[in-house]
Amino acid sequence: MYRILIVDDEPDIIQLIKRYAEREGYETVSADDGSQAIELCKNNDFDIIVMDVMMPDTDGFTACKKIREFKDIPVLMLSARGTEYDKLFGFEVGVDDYVTKPFSPKELMARIKVIISRHTVQKPEENSHIKVGGIEIDTLGHNVYIDGEKTDLTAKEYAILLYLTENKGIVLTRDKILNAVWGYDYFGDDRTVDWQIKLLRNKLGKYRDTVQTIRGVGYKFEEKT
């Protein structure tokens, strides 16, 4: 049975999510602030965290960042605000998905299902290392090195880079990237890809231009010469 940690300072929101999650067969644990969520994650394992952004004491972004320091648990963030800045910042600290309040509980459950399935099912790795110029990807350890120096990528940034390098020289549409990285049932829009690509490029440093924008279509990875 999959376990969901629900973190929100609104009891009604917690109860709503609990009711739908338990109806789907999930086990639920709840917390009403970020600090409590961090402590719960230190001593327990969860398959996903559904967490509000704006909370007293410790906000959702801060809690997500701290949890990422010691556990790899996917996070679906809830927020009453849906600005581009909030989404970009959320992706930067490792958020897997972002839902704006008010939300449809059925859609939320569908998103949770997709995130859990993609996080628990690992594809077999034929090659443990992919090296393209100064970029090296350790597919077993999920680590990326730029000119021999390890760089910290979020799970989504890593997945996008891996997908692009595996299809080097091929133009990939935003829909293809969404399907490959988020899953066919993802409910977001293709701007999500643009936000993640922007963050990935920043971390690639002098190799940022290896991820090329193909106007009106999508993206292509080309080795820098």
The mean per-residue pLDDT over the stretch 187-203 comes to 83
pLDDT confidence of residue 129: 80
DSSP-assigned letters across all residues of 24-58: TT-EEEEESSHHHHHHHHHH---SEEEEES--SSS
Q: Is the pLDDT of residue 33 over 80?
A: yes
Task: Select the highest-mean-pLDDT range: 119-133, 160-174, 188-202.
Answer: 160-174
Give me 108's structure tokens. Answer: 């939320």
204: which 2 tokens?
A: 């690639």
What does DSSP assign to residue 138? E
Q: What's the Cα-to-Cα distance from 225 to each of 132, 204, 206, 209, rounded to whole Å?
A: 10, 15, 12, 11
Residue 125: pLDDT above 50?
A: no
> Quick one: how far is CA 64 from the chain centroid?
11
Residue 135 burial (C-beta neighbours within 10 Å; 0-12, 13-18, 19+): buried
pLDDT band at 80 (very low <50, low <70, confident <90, very high): confident
**Is 90 exceeded by the pLDDT of residue 203?**
yes
29: burial class by Cβ within 10 Å (0-12, 13-18, 19+)? middle
Class in CATH terms, 129-221: mainly alpha
Using one digit for the tens of pLDDT, what is the confidence trace for 143-182?
899 999 999 998 889 999 999 998 888 999 988 888 888 7
Reported as a pLDDT band with limits 50, 70 and 90, residue 123 is very low
Q: Are strands 129-132 and 3-7 parallel, antiparallel or unpaired?
A: unpaired
So what's the pLDDT on residue 164?
Answer: 93
Its pTM stands at 0.62
Delimit the CATH 1.10.10.10 region(s) of the chain: 129-221
Domain with CATH 3.40.50.2300 in the chain: 3-120
What is the CATH T-level fold of the domain 3-120, as seen in this structure?
A: Rossmann fold (3.40.50)
